[in-house]
């Protein structure tokens, strides 16, 4: 019997006209990608019809809370049953997963698709970025809406429009770049009407996205009242601007100047400041792209003291070091420019240890890809290099190899940091982040004995470069199932533009449990105001 405890809205049937439009969009948007294994389809086409009934047999099913050898039966986009020896009739696609891991599809909490930034637009849109994600075992991501001239509603509409070609499920965070009554009201609208439950505050990028402490404080208070998670890009933007000037004065104009101008201490300072302000307000805080020991230790200290702080390392910070920024070839070095910067060797290993011990909770990518022509914008001045690296396709493989294959992390913890914790933090668990009866059928099958190799020539991003070029490792996602359909198998993608669904994320997730009680205890402890008698004299 189909269980639909977490049922999702079904897509309405498309009209032929719409299907034609979709196929037209595909021919426009993926013409360069067809050579790399895309097969963009409607429901029935040359690529074949994806089965709506699937039985995954004999694999090790991994959830964050346990693993077991079991079969998984999927019908109509939903997990119907998880148990050994499921029997099915005809017309069911059977996938043998013996000796392989069957896991919830990855959820990437941090991406920037088709984002206008630093005078250009990220090269991957909601088609190519999501196709790349599916090829790498990620079945949902949460992208950052950037307001249009500070206007949240205009920003939301613009991103809903960009996402029309989506091929998998996605949600939105919203950046806050200015403060007034309209922004405050629009935050209510975003949470109550549009399914956004997180807002990001940039403490860096002076002159564009950066906000003041005063705004951060207002924002934290507003987030608390709405049950929305406050997120921070934590770097001291004023000091970064000063550091950049210092490098230029020294004649350092190349990509290495990027790392030198914004050292870890500036990330540590801003992380500490945001944590203290969130503590003052008593609201949960989510620190995006934790890149340094300095920031990680601030998070560790706060969590030890009982504060609700979530730390998100990203694949680049966990895997790479900054030696690339000193590479003599400009194109090679510029592709590693992101903020906060990729740090010196040692920070990567410390972040891995923090992830495996639970000091940091979940892994993102900050997928913000620019091609080499875009990166060339800063060839005379590192301050003009568009900041960002790829990762949406590579994250699941890199984290498996670096953390699980190396023995640093258990398989259940792998599922937790790549999928489940994200679903929990953003309040969409167990619809997402689990293989349980009633969960969405977003599932991957990973072969621990197969290997992967990363190369720009074969990846699905539109970028002509890859920061993990040449990286090899063990553990390969062989099958990706999204919304109950096999979308990646035998190295081939079968994706349907327009099939991606916007996932609404309700406010007041688990991080808000007990906040009111803590506030009440705080007010009770004040022992004030004191009722004083006026003296006669
Ligand atoms: O360099 C980065 N991280 N680019 C994307 C924007 C951001 O700060 O997240
Ligand atoms: Zn950022
Ligand atoms: Zn980002």
Which residues in 375-407 are b (16+ Cβ under 10 Å) and which e? bbbbeeebbebbbbbbbbbbbbbbbbbbbbbee
Pocket lining: 390 vs ligand 1, CB cutoff 6 Å: no
**Are the C-beta atoms of residues 195 and 234 closer than 8 Å to each other?**
no
Indicate which ligand has the atom closest to the C-alpha of 142: 3
In sequence order, what E strands does 483-525 have?
Answer: 485-489, 492-493
Residue from 198, 199, 259, 289 to probe ligand 1 pocket by mutation (most atoms less than 8 Å from CB): 289
Query: What's the Rg (C-alpha) of the chain?
Result: 23
Cβ of residue 388 lying under 6 Å from some atom of ligand 1:
yes
Q: How far is the CA of 367 from the centre of ligand 1 (A)?
A: 8
Contacts 24+ apart (CB under 8 A), 214-217: 214/179, 215/176, 215/178, 215/179, 216/274, 216/277, 217/277, 217/280, 217/281
Cβ proximity of 244 and 261 under 8 Å:
yes
Question: Measured in angstroms, how far is the CA atom of residue 203 from the centroid of ligand 2?
Answer: 9
What contacts 12, CB < 8 A, 6 or more positions away? none
Q: How many CB atoms lie within 10 A of CB 321?
A: 17
Distance from residue 115's CA to the centre of ligand 3 (Å): 10
Sequence-distant (≥ 6) Cβ neighbours of residue 334 within 8 angstroms: 255, 372, 375, 376, 378, 379, 385
Q: What are the start-end ranges of the E strands in 76-137? A: 78-83, 93-96, 101-104, 106-111, 116-117, 120-121
What is the C-alpha separation between 126 and 45, in angstroms, rounded?
Answer: 22
Cα-to-centroid distance, 202 and ligand 2 (Å): 7
pLDDT at residue 534, as a whole number? 87
Nearest ligand to residue 115 Cα:
1
Which atom of ligand 1 is closest in space to residue 202's alpha carbon? Answer: 8
Tens-level pLDDT at each residue, the chain (537 residues) = 333 333 333 333 333 333 333 333 343 333 323 324 445 543 233 344 345 899 999 999 999 999 999 999 999 999 999 999 999 999 999 999 999 999 999 999 999 999 999 999 999 999 999 999 999 999 999 999 999 999 999 999 999 999 999 999 999 999 999 999 999 999 999 999 999 999 999 999 999 999 999 999 999 999 999 999 999 999 999 999 999 999 999 999 999 999 999 999 999 999 999 999 999 999 999 999 999 999 999 999 999 999 999 999 999 999 999 999 999 999 999 999 999 999 999 999 999 999 999 999 999 999 999 999 999 999 999 999 999 999 999 999 999 999 999 999 999 999 999 999 999 999 999 999 999 999 999 999 999 999 999 999 999 999 999 999 999 999 999 999 999 999 999 999 999 999 999 999 999 999 999 999 999 999 999 999 999 998 876
pLDDT at position 535, please? 80
Query: What pLDDT is attached to residue 537?
Result: 66
- Structure-token pair, residue 71: 């079969």
- Closest residue by Cα to atom 9, ligand 1, is 366
Residue 319 has φ and ψ, to the nearest 5°, of -110, -35
Model pTM score: 0.92
Q: Is the CB of 366 under 6 A from ligand 1?
A: yes
CB-proximal residues (5 Å) to ion ligand 3:
366
Summarize the chain as % helix, strand, coil (round to 5). 35, 20, 45
Is the CB of 108 inside a 6 Å radius of any atom of ligand 1?
no
Q: Is 262 in the pocket of ligand 1 (CB under 6 A)?
A: no
Is any ligand 1 atom within 6 A of the Cβ of residue 494?
A: no
Q: Which residue has the tokens 């790349």?
A: 132
pLDDT at 209: 97
Ligand 1 center from residue 96 Cα (angstroms): 40
Distance 235 CA to ligand 2 centre (A): 9
- Residues constituting the chain: 537
Preceding peptide of 430 cis, ω within 30°: yes
């Amino acid at each position: 019997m189909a269980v639909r405890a977490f049922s999702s809205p079904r897509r309405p049937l498309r009209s032929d006209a719409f299907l034609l439009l979709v196929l037209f969009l595909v021919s426009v948007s993926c013409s360069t990608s067809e050579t790399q294994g895309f097969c963009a389809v409607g429901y029935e086409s040359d690529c074949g019809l994806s089965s709506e009934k699937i039985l995954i047999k004999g694999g090790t099913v991994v959830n964050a809370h346990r693993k077991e050898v079991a079969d998984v039966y999927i019908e109509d986009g939903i997990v119907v049953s998880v148990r050994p020896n499921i029997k099915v009739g005809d017309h069911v696609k059977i996938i043998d997963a013996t000796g392989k891991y069957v896991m919830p599809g990855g959820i990437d909490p941090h991406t920037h698709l088709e984002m206008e930034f630093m005078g250009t637009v990220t090269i991957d849109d909601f088609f190519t970025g999501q196709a790349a994600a599916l090829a790498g075992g990620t079945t949902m991501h949460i992208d950052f809406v950037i307001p249009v001239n500070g206007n949240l509603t205009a920003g939301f509409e613009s991103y809903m429009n960009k996402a029309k070609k989506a091929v998998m499920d996605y949600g939105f965070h919203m950046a806050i770049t200015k403060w007034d009554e309209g922004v405050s009201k629009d935050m209510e609208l975003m949470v109550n009407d549009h399914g956004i439950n997180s807002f990001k505050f940039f403490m860096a990028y002076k002159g564009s996205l950066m906000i003041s402490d005063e705004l951060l404080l207002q924002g934290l208070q507003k987030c608390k009242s709405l049950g929305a998670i406050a997120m921070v890009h934590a770097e001291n933007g004023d000091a970064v601007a000063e550091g950049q000037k210092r490098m230029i004065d020294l004649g350092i104009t190349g990509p290495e100047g990027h790392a030198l101008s914004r050292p870890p201490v500036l990330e540590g300072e801003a992380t500490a400041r945001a944590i203290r302000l969130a503590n003052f307000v008593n609201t949960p805080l989510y620190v995006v792209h934790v890149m340094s020991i300095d920031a990680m230790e601030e998070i560790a200290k706060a969590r030890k003291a009982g504060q609700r702080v979530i730390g998100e390392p990203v694949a680049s910070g966990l895997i790479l070091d900054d030696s690339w920024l000193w590479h003599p070839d400009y194109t090679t070095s510029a592709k590693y420019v992101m903020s906060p910067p990729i740090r010196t060797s040692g920070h990567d290993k410390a972040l891995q240890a923090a992830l495996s011990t639970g000091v940091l909770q979940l892994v993102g990518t900050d997928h913000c890809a620019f091609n080499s022509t875009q990166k060339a914008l800063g060839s005379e001045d590192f301050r003009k290099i568009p900041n960002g690296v790829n990762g949406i396709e590579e994250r699941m493989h890199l984290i498996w190899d670096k953390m699980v294959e190396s023995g640093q992390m258990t398989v259940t913890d792998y599922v937790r940091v790549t999928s489940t914790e994200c679903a929990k933090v953003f309040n969409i668990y167990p619809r997402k982040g689990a293989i349980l009866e009633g969960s969405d059928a977003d599932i991957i099958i990973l072969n621990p004995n197969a290997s992967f190799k990363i190369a720009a020539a074969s990846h699905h991003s539109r970028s002509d470069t890859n920061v993990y070029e040449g990286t090899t490792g063990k553990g390969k996602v062989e099958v990706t199932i999204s919304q109950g359909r096999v979308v990646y198998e035998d190295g081939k993608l079968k994706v349907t533009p327009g099939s991606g669904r916007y996932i609404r994320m309700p406010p007041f997730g688990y991080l808000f449990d007990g906040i009111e009680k803590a506030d009440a205890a705080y007010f009770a402890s004040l022992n004030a105001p004191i009722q004083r008698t006026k003296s006669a004299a």
